[in-house]
Structure 1
Amino acid sequence: MMILKSAGIIDASLIRSDNALNFAYALFILLRDKGVHPNTIETVVRKWLVLSILTGRYSGSPESMFDYDIKRFNANDPEEYLKSVELGQLSDAYWEHILPERLNTSVASSPYFKLYLMAQVHSGDKGFLSSQITVGALISNRGDIHHLFPKKYLQRNGHNSRSEYNQIANYAITQSEINIQIKDDAPNIYMAKILEQIESKKSVIGGILTKEQLNESFKQNCIPEEFVNYDVNTYYEFLARRRYLMSQKIRDYYFSL
């Protein structure tokens, strides 16, 4: 992993040493030994690593797929082989339907959630309702994973299953003090306080003091504008809409590599 980091291929510490990462290392060595230009190596390995995680290409017993892909990269132009797999595996249907469905999980260690966080780090996004502090800084300093619909609020309203309140589409990285200030209020309650502080210019929750800052925080954290009106009755609508926005952010991240 250190070699990949030093080559500029990994820009976040969110990936565990799994099969996809092991193949990325092997691919890096192969392309370097073939004399491929360093810029091409960086692009191909970065994208292949993310593609492998998105598609679960090396889940289960990966040896045969490892061997297949190494042979193809060795025999073909690496960018052309990447493009051919990309066209087959990451179609519009993948980003519009398949990935949003894979984001329908309560497992915080989900590789798709980690890719979403990587996309935020890559973009320099700020934490939810933060005016200054980035997601990358919060992750480095163990910032809170906040429930956008607070857990206790959902439990009080009949959503008692972990698989309901711990949906990864209900998670956002934020500062501990903002998480504490939000308490267990419904989104429409604590967002009303944010809108009031925008009017008064007196901070109550976080440092958002303009509508432009709020809109940007929503955009960076994949939160629909209607969130200011949401309560328990729109929880499932919120989850579906946010999964789609998270998928699009991951898509933009992938194609920026």
Structure 2
Amino acid sequence: MKLATTRAVITGGASGLGEATARYFRQAGAEVTIFDRDADRGSKVAQSIGAHFAETDVTSEDSVAAAIAHASAKMGGISACVNCAGIAHAIKTVGRDGAHPLGAFQRTVDINLVGSFNVARLAAVEIAKNTPEADGARGVIINTASIAAFDGQKGQAAYAASKGGIVGMTLPMARDLAASGIRVMAIAPGIFMTPMLAGLPEEAQAQLAADVPNPARLGQPEEYARLAGFIVEMGYLNGEVIRIDGALRMR
């Protein structure tokens, strides 16, 4: 696979890691359809880079099915799916206000884990329709985990559980889809300069960056995007999770 001939759907493509990936893929010549709940921002990003857009709730089967159909029609098929949509809460299992709200835990898992699987499974149906390349390859699915899946900190029970699920389903999904020529990979980012972190004071950003061994800075969304692009083109990468974190191990 080459980025220049890739037809990609990217969830959470209106901001952060997803937006950076959409921009990077388009710069490389790929066809891109952005999936996001933010119709205003998503449409603007798509228009600015010459991509397509579909307002999408990743937790809804009907919404994702409609978005996949729209993307396939606009691009003439789908060959890559990058799942970046996600949320995070900082809530302890038992805090000052009592037990962790069950709804917050369920919503985090529903969006981050169930939503990623929902998009991946429906995208896989379309990817499987592609004419295989010489080695049988038809496409690739890239899900976003987190180093919190391995090093979850206080207040990250819900987030770490959702990202641990992404890690856990990577290999079995790769095995499930092998006969269709579809690879499945996951990226586990460390602390990245996403809109959420960009809103923190510079002092707080500096403190977070100081924990990263080398380079001692926050990750840039473009670095995630470049790794996603590398995975698309490196056809022997399959069934694995790649950390991109500057050797950070949270504690």
- Place the TM-score, normalised by the shorter chain, in its bin: under 0.3
- TM-score (ref. length: structure 2): 0.23
- TM-score (ref. length: structure 1): 0.23
- Relative to its length, the structure with more strand (as a share) is 2
- Relative to its length, the structure with more helix (as a share) is 1
Instruction: Select the structure of larger CA radius of gyration.
Output: 1
